[in-house]
Amino acid sequence: MAKIKLEKSDWLYNAGIVGICNILKYNECDYDDSNINYVEFESECLGNFEEKYFNYFIGTYEKFTSWYRLISFEDYMDNLDLNIISSKDLKYINKYIENLKNKLKSNSYKSAYLVINDKELDLVKKEKEIKKIKITKKQNINDVMVDIKKQIEIIKEIIEYLKRDEIKRYILAKNIIYDVIQKFWEKVSFLNQKSNNKDMYEEFKRYFLDSTKTYLNSDKEKAKYYCFTCGRKVSSLKETFGLAWINKIGVDMSRKSSHFWNMNGDAYICPICNLVYSCVPAGFTTLNGRGIFINENSSIKNLIRINKHSLDTTTSIDELEEESYFNIADSIGQVSIDKSERETENIQIIKLNSENERRPYTFNIISKEKLNIICKHRNMLKSMIKIHAKVGTNEYINIYREVLDRIYKGKNLFDLISKLSYLKLDGKFNGLQFIEMMLKINNNLLERGEEIGMVSGSINDKAIYSFKCRGAELRKGYENRKALNKLGGVSYRLLNSLKTKNVSRFMDTIINSYMYLNMEIPTSFINVLNDKNKFQTIGYAFLVGLQGEEKFKKSGEEVNNDK
């Protein structure tokens, strides 16, 4: 059998390469990634590849599917004592019944039933037997116990059926198709409208694999066409494919000829590349319609390793992104990125948001300097992942994403620090510790800017702590004088001065405050007032201390509560 060689290319093709390698590895098929620029494997690995394809997705995403949520109710039933059912239990059972009915009569489940050979249980009819348990005001739980037991028995019967190998195989495949694969491509194979009710395994084999095997066995010596993506020879255009089926990426050459030179569409791809692109969803890691792929192009081995994620404990795409950065760091020596023997190339971060129909993909470039900042402040950033702040009636911002977005773009964090400081003064944000973290991260950004001659104004982290302590001392002075009620006005004046970078107004407020308390004004202010960035850094640090210390919130707690 021949060997198939896949060479690195653009981010989309690289995602397909990672995807096909993930599928092969999951199914214990060997591939050779020892070469920097390409991966190679035996063509016999494509045997039964349709099974391997879905095996990978099911094994990776099973716990995130509706099938898994339905059968997981079995654990609840096993621990349920029918003799002491509470109103809370009844509410939970009814909620499950509602969800079960909705899924069993959904189009995706119905289309799965059509290809299932095991017809012992008619789920369409069985769904009609499931009914919520109704209880009137004059009744108690015991009055409807017969109904409860009846519904529990029906549910058990359905779950046992759903757990059968063949039923599980097809329903999980449908779950995966709509939850993961369709986010990346559609219109062909099992996602062709005419194939919706056909066996998805057979459809994948027919469209992607049969053509690949035919192509591998064909004589291409006299071929005069070339694959647009990999440059392989193609005997005729009849055995090529277009890219229109790839969401928001491919172009339909029959309708959009103006995209090509001399109105002549030539973006035809060979069957091998067609198969690679079908594996793009396996190259991304996807959760709840959002996905991430890191295009670290230094070598095939690193490309695969950096995109390897465990979903066992991960609950959000932000956690996956955070994990990715440290996978990158590991690949170049996490102990000291600066002292790495080789320079890190600019790395693409590609994120998918399937809810954004016009622009589902966003792209960011992360340089060695930005990666250094992220890794240095790993613990701080990690603590921000699930922290939100309310900035409007129904508008929230995620602190982690906001900080990371500014790091990507090389922007400072002063605007975000200012916004959160105002929210803090208004009693709408209780995460003072996160503002302090941002000051330290921002100071590191300024340091990097100084190194390349872009900006100035970084200070020692100890100075940030020192000015925070000065602010805390002033607060203590107001507290001792029983004048804490005056701090709100003082804080607003200081914050307004920082926002407008008005040094004079800031110092007027500082001087008046210290004079009111008959305290000595720290001379350390004088050393930082001539630089706008230093002024803002020490000013916000002082304000953090002035507003008081807070305990860290538990991980995952939303740091925003309307008072």
Contact 464, 537 (CB under 8 A): yes
262-271, 399-408, 470-479, 536-545, range with the lowest pLDDT: 262-271
Phi (first) and psi of residue 311, to 5 degrees: -95, 10
Annotate 133-169 with b (16+ C-beta within 10 A) or e (fewer).
Answer: bebeeeeeeeebeeebeebbebbeebbebbeeeebbb
Task: Give the position of tokens 């969800």.
Answer: 99
Q: Residues 150-173: pLDDT tens digits?
A: 999 999 999 999 999 999 999 999
Helix (H) / strand (E) element for 105: namely none
pLDDT of residue 451: 57
Task: Report the pLDDT value the prediction gives residue 310, as an integer from 0 to 100.
Answer: 76
CA 124 to each of CA 163, 214, 220, 542: distance values in angstroms, whole numbers, following the listed order:
17, 41, 51, 66
Q: Is the pLDDT reported for residue 374 higher than 90?
A: no
* Alpha carbons 491 and 421: distance in angstroms, whole number: 10
523 has pLDDT over 80: yes
Task: Return the pLDDT at 82.
Answer: 86
pLDDT, position 449 = 65
3-state helix, strand, coil in the chain (%, to 5): 55, 10, 35
From residue 129, give the alpha-carbon distance in Å to each of 101, 113, 121, 126, 147: 10, 18, 13, 5, 12
Over pLDDT 90: what percentage of the chain?
A: 66
The residue to which tokens 């069957």 are assigned: 271
- For 439-461, the DSSP string reads HHHHHHHHHHHHHTTS------H
Task: Identify the sign of the CA torsion 189, 191, 193, 196.
Answer: positive
- Per-residue pLDDT, averaged over 171-192, amounts to 97
Q: In this structure, is the dihedral angle defined by the CA atoms of residues 294, 296, 297 and 303, taken in order, positive or negative?
A: negative
Of 425, 71, 524, nearest in space to 510 by CA = 524
Tokens of 172: 């999980």
Q: DSSP letters of 240-271?
A: -B-STTBTTT---TTT-GGGSGGG-----B-H
Q: How far apart are CA 326 and CA 348, in angstroms?
A: 15
pLDDT at 17 over 90: yes
Read off the DSSP letter of residue 206: I
**Domain ranges (residues) in the chain:** 3-46+180-283, 64-174, 385-563
Report the pLDDT value the prediction gives residue 382, as an integer from 0 to 100.
87
Tokens of 378: 């790993």
In this model, does residue 558 exceed pLDDT 60? Answer: no
Determine the Cα–Cα distance for residues 372 and 389; give it in Å rounded to an integer: 27
pLDDT higher than 70, residue 531: yes
Q: What is the pLDDT of residue 335?
A: 37
- Lowest average pLDDT, out of 162-176, 292-306, 332-346, goes to 332-346
Residue 339 has pLDDT above 90, yes or no: no
Q: How far apart are the first and last CA of the chain?
A: 70
For the chain, how long is the longest CA-to-CA vector? 94
Identity at 207, one-letter amino acid code: Y
On whether the CB atoms of residues 279 and 23 are closer than 8 A, the answer is: yes
pLDDT of residue 255: 52
Give pTM, 2 decimals.
0.81
d(CA 197, CA 110): 9
Residue 219: is it exposed, middle or buried by C-beta count within 10 angstroms (0-12/13-18/19+)?
exposed
Output b/e per residue, 376-393; b: 16+ Cβ within 10 A.
Answer: ebeebbbbbbbbbbbeee
Q: Averaged over 19-41, what is the pLDDT? A: 97
**pLDDT tens digits, residue range 88-102?**
999 999 999 999 999
pLDDT for the residue numbered 336? 42
* pLDDT for 341 beyond 60: no
Predicted confidence band of residue 251 (pLDDT cuts 50, 70, 90):
low
Residue owning tokens 């007032």 = 529
The pLDDT value recorded for residue 455 is 57
CA nearest neighbour of 284 among 355, 370, 182: 182
Q: Is the pLDDT of residue 269 over 70?
A: yes
Q: Which two tokens stand for residue 433?
A: 């510790």
The top-scoring range by mean pLDDT among 273-277, 384-388, 446-450, 546-550 is 273-277
Tell me what the pLDDT averaged over the chain comes to. Answer: 88
The answer on pLDDT for 540 being more than 50 is: yes
